[in-house]
Amino acid sequence: AAEHKYEHIQLTTPRPGVALITLNRPKALNALFSPLINELNTCTSSLDRDTSISAIVLTGSPKAFAAGADIKEMAPKTFSDAYGHDFIESWSNITRIKKPVIGAVNGYALGGGCELAMMCDILYASKTATFGQPEIKLGILPGAGGTQRLAHAVGKAKAMHLILTGDNFSGEQAEQWGLVAKCFDDAEACVNGALDTAEKIAGYSKIAVKACKEAVNKSQDLGVREGVEYERRLFHGLFGSQDQKIGMEAFANKKKAEWTHS
């Protein structure tokens, strides 16, 4: 991956084809403020263009994935500051990345931190994780997609309860409710598990991975009939790829597929 110097995040490539982004604003428990989000957006969009990278892992520290939007940065904002400058809109840029993003949540994932986690394509957590949408306690609402993504993930009943009470929930609860795909015993196992998954995905055809991610994410926006039609278009399209021939011939010949990513 291209080596950039970032102040509030760290970028490494610990496995072949895998980039690891670590949110790194320890003094404020990775509270999300504009300079950090700008770096995250620069970094993820450059990784999306980087042909040596196939999957991205996003994590924080063992203490905090991110403790929310920076309350001190937000406090003085007026309506015209917020509306006029589309406050928070660019926070969802990460959802425009075409490569899979795997979130590994340890410690606090509150408010905007929980919302950022929910933007990831696959979400892992550990037993140390504390999720929550505490915005109600600050006199606001979750403004970075939380009301929508939490409701999609855990259903309206639980989402409404969590958002109106501001109660926290654990990594294990998040797994039981289907918000996270796996809950690990500790932070290290969680990040390693995310890297293992990213490395596995990096071993597949990039074309097929891109289509799978695109199709599954459409399920969040489209009705089932339109979603299935969308899926079928992508499915038909993949018969125009070399990797479809390579994958199926390798199966027939009992060989390992050597993907061309085309």
Catalytic residues: 69, 112, 115, 135
Binding mask 3-42 for ligand CAA (x = CB under 6 A): -------------------------xx-x-----------
User: What residues numbered 84-103 form the site for ligand CAA, per CB under 6 A?
Assistant: 88
Measured distance CA(173)–CA(179) in Å, rounded = 9
Phi, psi of 183 (to 5 degrees): -120, 125
Binding mask 39-68 for ligand CAA (x = CB under 6 A): ----------------------------xx
Measured distance CA(111)–CA(128) in Å, rounded = 17
Closest approach of ligand CAA to the CB of residue 158, in Å: 18
Do residues 130 and 109 make contact, with C-beta atoms less than 8 angstroms apart? yes
Residue 121 binds to ligand CAA (criterion: CB under 6 A):
no
Q: Which of 112, 118, 175, 202 binds ligand CAA (CB under 6 A)?
A: 112
Do residues 108 and 64 make contact, with C-beta atoms less than 8 angstroms apart? yes
Burial string for 11-35 (b: 16+ CB within 10 Å, else e) reads beeebebbbbbbbbbeebbbbbbee
Residues in contact with ligand CAA by CB under 6 A are 28-29, 31, 67-72, 88, 108, 110-112, 115, 134-135, 138, 142-144, 146
